[in-house]
Structure 1
Amino acid sequence: MLIISMIGLDKREFHSHAHKMLRECLRNKGIEYSEATPVTRGRLGKPSLTEHPDVHYNISHADGIAACMVSELECGIDCENVRDFHPSVMKRAFSAKEREMVEKAPESERNLLFFRLWTLKEAYVKALGTGISYPLADAEFIFDGDNIETDIDNCYFRQYILKNGRYVVSICEIKRKFPR
């Protein structure tokens, strides 16, 4: 299940809003979620429901957007509002092919392209439970029209571009389970 919300909240309120979305997603699976719900943390801090180890979730929020997903598979979600990016981030986190793709794109498309790639990388490492300690440049993505191409095995990737390119939401689900 996936919920995406774009509302005019204060930045501080988006974290709380994302957790409300998570409660709604889990309620649809018959799971009551609150601050008292037992949560287990993985080796690098990824949370999971102690009493429901086969239910996986992830949340994300950025200025103007919040997103939540619940799945039977390990999952990660990332959302971003498209804005000017910092080239130094691209140098650290993108492969040579990805940097070339962004640099060769028309200037009017570069910010969106950067955040399409960034959110895919973030969703992937969140699904893995490693966060940005993972070497992000190793997770390479190329676009063929609307298709996302990658050599990452055992993962499903989806991406949503919302509000005429103002927001990007990317999702990763891992086809097999990894030890926590």
Structure 2
Amino acid sequence: MIEIYGVQLKNYISKEDFDRLLGFVSEEKKERIRRFRKYDDAERSLIADILLRVVICKKIGLKNDELSFYKNEYGKPLLKNMENIYFSISHSYDWVVVAVNEFSIGIDIEKIKPINLNIAKRFFTDDEYNFIMDVDVQKRLEYFFKLWTLKESYVKLEGKGLYTSLKSFSIIINDYNINIKTDNELKNCFFREYNIDAGYKLAVCSLNNDFPDNIIIKGYNDLLEIKDL
């Protein structure tokens, strides 16, 4: 069954706690985190990695130092020697989310913020752009991020990153279902949206339709369990 977890970054963690948690990630991850110019970006990346490690360790019974990750030819992160555990990570502003499944999965979260909607012409199909423009002006931003997260979740599920053009498929939304129209090899997938926060859009795309009803919200103390794993 699909499991979805979230951590809300209400307050930035202290430098002491940051350094403490940093000791539980790989050396490669440490270097990437240290290269962030902004502390909040580094914090999101660290919290996402720790949350993933806690979830996977408790799910499959491994120790944290036994976990090993690698990237496929397109850059999608995977677990070494674990063919039946897949995951996806996303973070935006105050939220970090992780999805875990026995099949490939993709998750995306985005804060709804002001943008120039002309960007939709660049990344969306004509059908998707028209879908946004057909709604009330006040709702267009919300619908833009609705489509964006759905499309990004599909890209993450497929695992080919920039090799999958956002214009190579259309998300079709009606009153009851979310479907995909594409000539891509991956056509048989399922979508689910979650209301994690009024100011955000969150979408999950999976090969199986075994979605949970709710997101499991974790706190900082839950992340500290990493020291015992």
Tell me: CA distance 1:56–1:67, structure 2 relative to 1, closer, same or farther (3 Å).
Answer: same
Counterpart selection for 2:90 from 57, 60, 65: 60
- Structure 1 residues 110-150: Cα deviation after superposition (integer angstroms, max 9, x where no partner): 11100110111111111111113311122211221353132
Contact residue 57 and residue 64 of structure 2 kept, 8 A: no
Residue in 1 aligned with 2:58?
28
Contact residue 77 and residue 122 of structure 1 kept, 8 A: yes
Residue in 2 aligned with 1:163?
197
Amino acid at match of 1:63: Y
Q: TM-score, normalization: structure 2?
A: 0.69
Q: Distance in 2 between matches of 1:155 and 1:33?
A: 32
Aligned length: 174
Q: Alpha-carbon deviation of 1:34?
A: 4.2
- Structure 1 residues 36-72: Cα deviation after superposition (integer angstroms, max 9, x where no partner): 6322211111111112122101101111111101100
Alignment of structure 1 residues 100-179 onto 2, 5 Å: 100-145=130-175, 147-151=177-181, 153-164=187-198, 166-175=199-208
Greater RCO structure (CA 8 Å; 6+ sep): 2
Q: Distance in 1 between matches of 2:133 and 2:164?
A: 24
Residue in 2 aligned with 1:5?
7
Contact residue 103 and residue 110 of structure 1 kept, 8 A: yes
CA radius of gyration, larger in: 2
Instruction: Return structure 1 stretches of 4+ with deviation > 6 angstroms.
Output: none
Could you tell me which runs of 5 or more consecutive residues in structure 1 were left unpaired when the two chains were aligned: 176-180
Higher helix fraction (1 or 2): 2
Could you tell me which runs of 5 or more consecutive residues in structure 2 were left unpaired when the two chains were aligned: 13-39, 209-229
Contact residue 179 and residue 190 of structure 2 kept, 8 A: no
Q: Distance in 1 between matches of 2:193 and 2:42?
A: 25
Counterpart selection for 1:17 from 42, 47, 59: 47
Higher strand fraction (1 or 2): 1
Q: Distance in 2 between matches of 1:163 and 1:59?
A: 17
Sequence identity (%): 28
Residue in 2 aligned with 1:94?
124
Q: Alpha-carbon deviation of 1:31?
A: 4.2
| RMSD of aligned Cα (Å) | 1.9
Contact residue 122 and residue 131 of structure 1 kept, 8 A: no
